[in-house]
Structure 1
Amino acid sequence: MPDTSVMTSLGGHYRALVLGSSGGIGRAFVERLRSDPACADVIGLSRSDDRFDVTKEESVAAAAARFTEAERRFELVIVATGALVIDGNGPEKTIKAIRADVMAAQFALNAIGPALAIKHFAPLLSNEGKSVFTVLSARVGSIGDNRLGGWISYRSSKAALNQIMRTSAIEISRLRPKSVVVSLHPGSVDTGFSGGFSKGHDRVSPGESVENMLSVLDRLEPAQTGGFFAYDGQPVEW
């Protein structure tokens, strides 16, 4: 990965936090940010490395409290948690396949977890200049773009996540008018995330996806907070 700065809009010596840093995309975010000469510090948290569990509020609150007590602030917070396949349960092909427990697990990880992350980590955003809080969403979470049906639990959890981000952005901007709070669609990325369900789609490496998404975040302005954007910078319809 290049060692040139990709987040110039945050100013020199910005600090970054990646939640879900052990996943394919999360790990690529950490690696790229560590290669950025303008990034003074990057911290990654994950369930496998730090027992950080975004679905448990006590875990999220405890992790955030450590930074609060140390008076640490971040210009960039990335929530790279989420899953398409949970406990071996992939996306449904039909309404008949809906299971309450499977849907609840999707919402717990893909919507409620990021909401808890916003609740506890958004207060750690720096207020000295532009700051960014972003979560990984998915184009299939777009209601307007849904022309194929299926995948009801996953689609719905990501649609809920987008509403959570939209609403949070409005509230956060009142205290941090220079903040950018957005959902990002990373594209079809070559990781184990999809469990084979992305066959037939052109896929990019985690490093390429991350490079694209960071470039988008660098270009976004506070006036665009609350939006939903793809890896190429184009808005995604709700």
Structure 2
Amino acid sequence: MKNALIIGASGGIGRALATALRDEGTLVTGLARSTHGLDLTDEASIKRCFSALDDTYDLIFVATGALEIDGGAPEKALSALTPKAMMDQFALNAAGPALVLKHAVPLLPRDRRAVFAVLSARVGSIGDNRLGGWYSYRTAKAALNQLIHGAAVELGRTHKELICACLHPGTVATAFTEKYLGRHPSVTPDHAAERLINVIKGLEPADSGGFYDYAGKEIPW
């Protein structure tokens, strides 16, 4: 990869991805809320940030997301559901990355391989859900998977070598997961970034629209 754009470059995984790619000699551009005012819940903000870019990218990676928004923790029971928490999750974790892709299309080359990847989560898998709970976050990630899968079908008609992929990074020790790690084994952001980059390198155009874990294994929808 020669040229990469990282959305959410100030976060734990985003920063680690940017560093790892730069170490490989990739030219990395980063966008973040803290440094560029990029707000994935505001399409005007996305449009403004992307209008300032005039290059094409071999990799665009959306490394944003949140488990908890405005104090809305993942629900343990239906009784904890609120419309606001559900809509907040959808806006940031599903609609936001989809709108990024909408405005990123002009930055994706049509004449060579390119990857548009988003951070999804295994808990967004309907087929793999055996524990229940976490309704809003699970639903938002399932919606994100559908949005990226549908976009892959459309963009495959015009960008023959483009790969759109939803990637599960595993449990990563960041501020994002700090309150929820418990006894779950976790990896550092640097290790997660290394694994994600390896998966990206191994993807082919035929894999576009898929949902993969940190080892490149396909996750059921």
TM-score range, shorter chain: over 0.9
Map of 1:42 onto structure 2: 28
SS in 1 for 2:179: coil
1:64 partner letter:
F
Query: Identity of paired residues, percent?
Result: 47
2:96 partner letter:
G
Deviation at 1:190, TM superposition (A): 0.5
1:185 partner letter:
H
| Residues 211-230 of structure 1: pairs in structure 2 closer than 5 A | 211-230=194-213
1:200 aligns with 2:188: no
Alpha-carbon distance in structure 1 between the residues aligned to 2:59 and 2:82: 37
Alpha-carbon distance in structure 2 between the residues aligned to 1:198 and 1:165: 27
Map of 1:63 onto structure 2: 49
Deviation at 1:128, TM superposition (A): 2.6
Runs (4 or more) in structure 1 with deviation over 2 Å come to none
Q: Find the partner of 2:107 among 116, 124, 138.
A: 124
Map of 2:148 onto structure 1: 165
Alpha-carbon distance in structure 2 between the residues aligned to 1:15 and 1:152: 37
Unmatched runs of 5 consecutive residues or more in structure 1: 1-9
Alpha-carbon distance in structure 2 between the residues aligned to 1:198 and 1:139: 15
1:113 aligns with 2:96: yes
Contact conserved, 1:122 with 1:133, CA < 8 A, in 2? no
Deviation at 1:123, TM superposition (A): 2.4
Unmatched runs of 5 consecutive residues or more in structure 2: none
Let me know the Cα RMSD of the aligned residues. 0.9
1:137 aligns with 2:126: no
Count of aligned positions: 221
Deviation at 1:55, TM superposition (A): 1.0
> After superposition, what is the alpha-carbon deviation per residue over 1:58-109, rounded to whole angstroms, capped at 9, x for unaligned?
0101111111xx3x11110000010001122210000010011111110010
Alpha-carbon distance in structure 1 between the residues aligned to 2:162 and 2:43: 24
> After superposition, what is the alpha-carbon deviation per residue over 1:175-228, rounded to whole angstroms, capped at 9, x for unaligned?
101011000000000101024112111100001001001100100100010000
- Provide the TM-score with structure 2 as the length reference: 0.98
SS in 2 for 1:169: helix
SS in 2 for 1:196: helix
